Amino acid sequence: MTNGSVQSRRPTRKAWTLECLLHERAIVLGFTLTKSTSASYDSAVASYIQFCRLHNVSLTPTLDTLSFYIVWMSTYILPLSVDSYFSGICNKLEEEFTEIRKVRHSCLVQRTLAGCKHRLNHPVRRKQPLSRNDLHIAFSHYHMSADHDDILFLAQLYFGFETLQRLGKLVWPDATQLPSYNVVPMRHTVHVDDNSASYILPVSKTDKFGHGNQVLVRHTSYEDDCMKIFSDYVKSRNTAFPHYPELWLRTNGSIPMRSWFTSRFQHIFANVSVDTPFKQVEQQLSCSQVSLLICVTNSDSSSVTTPIKEGQVYGIK
């Protein structure tokens, strides 16, 4: 039994005003979604509102409204995309319509979506992946260059390949409203030793606690050793920008943009022989579509902290 005469060791805490509580709560709610995710959710909600206005129906999500929306929208985009749209619609509208998630998971809505997937879906079309031999083309082109931007591009290309990163983790988006320093890797998190090189990848959708993920490459005997390429970039970056906090920096001191990377990417492979697998990708490539994607043939090698193994490839989405 607790002795009432014993003084509590609990520290003294001050009461906050209601304005302070509201202010702080608004700030933390702003960290719930990244800017890019929020923009995607806004687009999904806009399509739902458009459907309701065109068909003169209430925005209230009923069984009929959601099932009709699925049928209508599936004629314009893939049913799989319609399914993902519901994540954004529910997230943005559940505060106003508290039953929306229950309606979404109702039998009628789920069966309508399943039927659209069977009737209207198309085979998955993926870009031709890059092999290590294709990647060596960029190495042959840039590895003797002393230009900082060339060193940066090569380092991002190889490090993204080895650590299974999408392009969005390495560069900033071109849309001016989307960049956020919450996802920018910082120089002080870099660690390089004799056997490996790593840095901390900031928060992502899979990082629920905001600790970030360590991405790491190990030393290899390859001529185009990713660890050496990355170390060369870090040396060049530290010489040019010793007081800047960001890890990835161009010659002008700015964070590289998606369009900067994709333009160089296209330039490198523009004159590759048609027999090279990448040429099939280049013929389908556009700056608005390109994003780096790792296609892993080993199903158990999905962690960003695990170096790539033989048989894994790096490609374009």
Pick the range with the lowest mean pLDDT from 148-157, 247-256, 292-301.
292-301
CA distance 301 to 304: 9
Rg (CA), the chain: 24
The answer to whether the predicted template modeling score (pTM) of the entire model surpasses 0.85 is: no
Position 39 scores a pLDDT of 84
CA distance 87 to 274: 41
pLDDT of 297 strictly over 70 = no
CB of 197 closer than 8 Å to CB of 227: yes
- What DSSP assignment string belongs to 92-141? HHTTT-TTHHHHHTSHHHHHHHHHHHHHH------PPPBPHHHHHHHHHH
Position 226 scores a pLDDT of 93
- Average pLDDT of the chain to the nearest whole number: 80
CA distance 152 to 207: 26
Position 303 scores a pLDDT of 34
pLDDT in tens, 17-57: 999 999 999 888 877 777 778 888 999 999 999 999 999 99
State the pLDDT confidence band at 271, using cuts at 50, 70 and 90. Answer: low
CB of 187 closer than 8 Å to CB of 245: yes
pLDDT of 317 strictly over 70 = no
pLDDT in tens, 80-129: 899 999 999 999 999 899 999 999 999 999 999 999 999 987 777 777 77
Pick the range with the lowest mean pLDDT from 102-106, 166-170, 191-195, 246-250.
166-170
pLDDT of 277 strictly over 50 = no
CA distance 105 to 299: 29
Element (H, E) at 288: none
pLDDT in tens, 147-184: 999 999 999 999 998 888 888 889 988 877 777 777 88
Position 280 scores a pLDDT of 35
Distances (CA, A) of 149 to 4, 88, 152, 260: 68, 37, 5, 10
Q: Mutual orientation of helices 226-240 and 148-162 as an angle, nearest 10°?
A: 140
Position 305 scores a pLDDT of 40
CA distance 13 to 98: 35
pLDDT of 234 strictly over 50 = yes
- What DSSP assignment string belongs to 14-55? PPPPHHHHHHHHHHHHHTSS-HHHHHHHHHHHHHHHHHHHHT
Residue written as token pair 């591009």: 153
pLDDT of 202 strictly over 60 = yes
Tokens of 285: 């490539």
CB of 311 closer than 8 Å to CB of 305: no
- The 3-class SS string of 289-306 reads CCCEEEECCCCCCCCCCC
CB neighbours (10 Å) of residue 17? 8
Position 292 scores a pLDDT of 43
Position 240 scores a pLDDT of 94
Q: 3-state DSSP call for residue 252? A: coil
Pick the range with the lowest mean pLDDT from 82-96, 130-144, 154-168, 204-218.
204-218
